[in-house]
Every structure is written in C-alpha cells, then in structure tokens.
Structure 1
C-alpha cells in the first residue's frame, strides 16, 4: 500500500530531524576537537609543576618538553583524522575551499617527513655530543684530578664545542682559525667531520628553514562565511603541524636554519592559537637573542652542555696540580651538573627519536588514508563516458 501524503510528510520530518541530530553531533565533535587542542597546548605553555614526580622537569625546550610536544601532536592528529577525515561525508572534500585546503595540507605533510628525517639524524648528533661530554665527566671525576685526566677532558670538550659551533657554510679558513683558537687537532677535525655527516644527510642546498617557510607560506586563516565547517579544523591541524616542525628545528641540530625566527605567522582569532602564539614568541625571542650561527639549537640540555664545556675548558687551560680546594669544589659542581645532563640525554634522546619515527610513520599512514578517501570520491564523482 503506497504511503499517504501524511505518511510521506511524517517520514520527511523524521529524516530532517535525523539529519539535524547528525549535524549537531558533528558540530559538537569539531568544537570538542578545538577545545582539546587548546587545552593540550596550554599545558605546553604552562607545564604543571609536579614536585612528587620522578620524571625530568618539563622545562621549555627540554627533552622532556619535546617528548610531551610530540605526544600532543600525535593525540591531535589522531582526533583530527577521526572527526574530520574518517567521520565525515567525503563529498565535502571536493567542494571549495576544501578541494584546495586538503591537498595543501597533504603537501605540508610531505615536507614534514623531510624535517622528521633531519631531526632523527640531528638526535644522532646529540647522542655523540653526550658521549663526548661523558668522557669529560669520567675524566674530571677522578680524585685527585691529574694532568692526564684534564688533558683527556679538554680534548673531548674541545671536540664537543667545535662540533656545536661549526657551520657548514663557513669558509675553510674560518674553520682553521676556530680550530687553532680552540686547540683542536687534525684528529679532532676528522671526528667533527664524522659528526657533521650524522646530521646533514641531505644535499647541501637543502634548508630546514626553507622547508618551514614553504609549509607556512600559504597557511592562511579561514575567512568569515566559509561554506563548510571543516575549514577551521584543517587550518588548525596544519598550524599545529607547522608549529611542531618549527619548534623541533629550532632546538635539534638541522641543516641551515637562517632566519628561522620569522617563518611562522598564526592567526590570533582562535582560542587554541593563543598558547601556540605565546610559545612561538618565547622561542622566537630566544632564537634571535642567541643568534645561533652554529648547529647547537635551543635545546635546554645542549645549551647547558655548551656553557659548562666552556667553563671547564677554561679550567683546563689554567690547570696546575694540585688543585686548590675552593677551585676543586667549583669544578666538582660543574662536573656533577654535566653528569646530570648526560643522564637526561641518555634516558630521553632515544625515546625522543622513537617518537619522531612514530610521528613519521603516522604522517605516512594518515596521508595514505586521506588519499584513498579522495581517490574514492573522485572515482564516484567522475562522469562515466558513454
């Protein structure tokens, strides 16, 4: 029996109501996603002070902080994929402006993969710096400190400091001047060259700074009246991706980072952007203040190693046996601090490197899944020729 007009009207009302419920749920999911991102970024900007925790403190730009940053990104990426890519009508992706924004986001992920590779090699370099610092620690912890111990420590520290400050774009004459000033031997330069190769796995023309610039060049905030609510979360995820890559490049040894402090512009109109902008400003100020021409970057542990290394080399230059009690106490404190930093690097860098590898693999999988969705939509919407 065919439905009457009243029955048809009733079914239409049920269908409209069902669609309204689905729409309201989708809007709520997107709002929750943005709130979760804002909360996670706020914790990065204001790390909790848990004095009872045995974990290393989350000092800004420390290894512990970067591990939390990558955790935040992985959580945001998983939620983004769930509520935007997999939980939506894929036909939205072929409508303007998503037909442009999604491919642009995917292009950023390709550039992010290059940066992840550079960061993985940069962490290898950090591990070598830690080994050099550990040699100095082991030598200077001897009691009493002998001349041979001091020479061994000085040699390791000079190699460490030379590797930290050297820049591949420097002229060979400048490198020679630096090595003469620091007392590095030809054998030290062989070591430095080996360390350089650990972090510089790309062509010499490759630039981490230019990669970041390319990722952010077309990243623009949504305008009012966009035809789909998915524009904001896509912009959000791209912004988080660029920020995470930018922050890691600022801290971990990477190839060519000139002008890095000026490569990220974020919109202030969103709540979730406020803590990200605060972090960007703080990191950017530190970058410009330090004017790092070498490769050490802004990682907290590396900065402390460099400062301690300079002080201990100064001690080694003026060493005479026996060491005065006051001076011995001062040196012991610096060595203890360096030992503590080596311990943090030993525990944290391997885990951080594994997280970067996980990030790389996650980006690859998510990109492939998104491309599969787009490919399916394109096949469905492409007219069949007759």
Structure 2
C-alpha cells in the first residue's frame, strides 16, 4: 500500500538521520575547536605584530588634512564638472607602546575574549556526561584549580595597581611644585620630599630587591605593600603562585588532541601567560625567582605569537633583574623611576637663583613627569577595573562548570526503588 510505503520511507529517513547525528555533532565540535584555535592565534598575533608597528602612522594621521586633500575639499563644487570633495581615508591610531598601561589593557581584553569563546566551546550545548570521562575528569578539575590560584594573582595585581596610583599622586605633587614660577627653595624641598618618598616606596615594594634598603628607608614604609590591606598571607609569593599554576601543563596527544582536551589546554596556557605578564608588569608581593620560561609550545600555530610575547617580556624582565630594580615592567613605572631619580639629583644640587640652562633642562624633565602622571591617571583605574572584571569572570565561569559537574554527579547516583 502506498501509505505503508510512505510510512516506511519516513521511518527509514529518521533512522538514517539519527545514525548521522553523532557524526554531525563531531563535525560541529571539530569546527568549533578549529575556530577557537584560529581566533586565539589571530588575537595574540595582533598583539605581537603591533610591537613592530612604527609610530609614523600617527604622524600621517595628523597630516592627513594637509597637501592635496584641503584643495580638493575646498574646490568649487558648484561649477560644472568640478571634482567631488575627497574623503579622508581612516587611519587607525597607532598601537599602544609595548608594556604600557594601555598595552596591558589590550592583553586583558584579549584574555576576556578568549575566555568567553572557550566557555562557549566547553559548556554550551555540551553533554554533561563527557565531563566525567577521561581525560576531562582530570583536566577540568586542574583548570578549576588554576582559576582559584589566578584569583589570588588578580587580588595581588589589583593591590599593585593601587600602589602605582599612590606613586602617581606623589609624582603629581613633585611636578606641581617644580612647575611653580619663580621656583624657590621651598618648592624644591617639597618636590624632593615627594620624590624621595616615591623612590623609597619603589624600593620597599618588593622583598626580592636587595638594593638601597638603608635605615632611613626602613623607617618610611609609606606606600609599601605592608601598608595595604592584603587578602593573602605575608608569606604568599606571586612567583610561586605562577609556578604552581604552570605545573601539570602537558599538550594533549593522539586522539585527545582533537577533542575537548585541546581547548582546555589552550585556555590553561593563556591563563598562566596572562597572569605571569601581570605579575611581571605590575608590582606584586614576592617576585623573587619569577620564571621567564613557561611551558608555551612554540611549535603549535596558536602558541607561536604567545611564545614571541613571552620571549620579549622575558628579555625585559632579565634586564630589570640585572639592574636590581623590582618595580615591574610597566613602561610608565620605569619612566617615572628614571625621571624621579634625575629630579632628586637636580634638587640636591639646587642653588638659587637657578641658571637658565639648568632651568630649561629641569622643565623638560618636569614636563615628562607630569605627562607620565597624566597617563597613569587616565589608565590605572580602567586597568584596575579590567583586572577585577577578569576576577569576576573567572568566578562566574568556574561556578558554571561546577554546576555542570554537580549535574553529572547527580545523574550518576543510582535511583533507589
């Protein structure tokens, strides 16, 4: 009968599609994993490539309205056959300087984008039962443990940013005093006091910096970490925390490299690298022995740009260690430390009335200090907010994964009859 034939054909079609569903899900999963790796590679490649981008692009943008463009724009468009006004081509702003506040903000933006996509790959539309099977039953708890350690790092970095804001205020006091005209001994003494407190705090912020710990410095601990309210023990070490986060990081092999083990591994590497970068950039408690070699597999395409960034930052960190400075890699901090020391030398040799040549030299340095403080004032609060956003994002993501694990645990409990 035709009806029976049609019914049989319909049932056969459903049967075929059901048999195909695992294949469809597998294909979609592979596509999602591939896209995630590509997006990670693109995002970190953009950061790495920005390091070689030169600043003249900004100059081109500022002169875009000169030359032929104005003559075209001011042409008599009412006359027949007149050319239409030229439309200025958009020239994007230059990338932020390497290790500047805005550079670290870009890095945190990249982390948040990667984390959001990773969570979608791991949790969205996923069969929770997969979490209880090898290797996820081992890898997911490891990732959650790294997230907990990263929360401590975020707290430490947030306090470090607060310390840098304290340095910024001291720098502003010194710059304002030295910008007075005419400048006298009173203004110089006030500036020197602020700068001395600033440099003393920079020395005392890190226990791994053995330089310059005089008796006078030991008495004045304003701005040091000990004056801040910490949520971690005094024995807590940022370097040891990063080392603990990087343990048990092994790239998936064989069949595991094409499953969910790979995105978990990638996100673990990203998490460790970003936390390491924050610890290296911003003053943190106990960075003695901070490693410059992390288990970033450069042979993998998505990890190559990350490895390049790690190498460049590691070189800068080694330079700081050789100089005996433990203030951090943040560009604004390094510039502030250098200018502050130079202005203290000026204050120590100050003689009234000030010679014209020395006044001009001092004015250049004071202007630089004021500019550094301005950048800090504009960028430090948003940076601190981003660090807190990373903190809360990890808390929420961890809670979501724990909820899935709880569902798996409940479903595996035998139902009593």
TM-score, normalised with respect to structure 2: 0.84
TM-superposed CA distance for 1:339, in Å, is 0.7
Q: What residue number does 1:363 align with?
A: 394
Cα separation, 2, equivalents of 1:321 and 1:174: 30
State the Cα deviation string for residues 285-312 of structure 1 (Å, max 9, x = none): 1111110755411110000000001111
Structure 2 SS opposite 1:226: helix
Structure 1 SS opposite 2:236: coil
TM-superposed CA distance for 1:32, in Å, is 0.9
Q: Is 1:56–1:344's contact at 8 Å kept on the other side of the alignment? A: no
- 2:203 is aligned, of 153, 165, 177, to 165
- 1:130 is aligned, of 168, 179, 190, to 168
TM-superposed CA distance for 1:33, in Å, is 1.1
**Which is worse superposed, 284-293 or 270-279?**
284-293
Cα separation, 2, equivalents of 1:197 and 1:54: 42
Q: Does 1:313 align with 2:344?
A: yes
Cα separation, 1, equivalents of 2:95 and 2:373: 15
- 1:22 is aligned, of 21, 25, 47, to 25
Q: What residue number does 2:67 align with?
A: none
Alignment of 1:1-386 (within 5 A): 9-47=12-50, 51=58, 52=61, 57-166=95-204, 169=207, 175-177=213-215, 179=216, 189-193=220-224, 196-198=226-228, 201-226=231-256, 229-262=259-292, 264-291=294-321, 295-384=326-415
TM-superposed CA distance for 1:28, in Å, is 1.2
Change (3 A) 1:10 1:202: closer
Cα separation, 2, equivalents of 1:306 and 1:54: 31
Cα separation, 2, equivalents of 1:171 and 1:34: 39
TM-superposed CA distance for 1:227, in Å, is 7.6
Cα separation, 1, equivalents of 2:379 and 2:237: 26
Structure 1 SS opposite 2:256: coil
Q: Is 2:206–2:284's contact at 8 Å kept on the other side of the alignment? A: no
Q: How many residues align?
A: 378
Q: Which runs of 5 or more structure 1 residues have no equivalent in the other structure?
A: none
Cα separation, 1, equivalents of 2:209 and 2:312: 32
- Whichever of the two has the greater Rg, that structure is 2
Change (3 A) 1:190 1:84: closer
Whose relative contact order is higher, 1 or 2, with alpha carbons under 8 Å and at least 6 apart? 1
TM-superposed CA distance for 1:10, in Å, is 3.6
Cα separation, 2, equivalents of 1:312 and 1:171: 22
TM-superposed CA distance for 1:217, in Å, is 1.0
Change (3 A) 1:202 1:295: farther
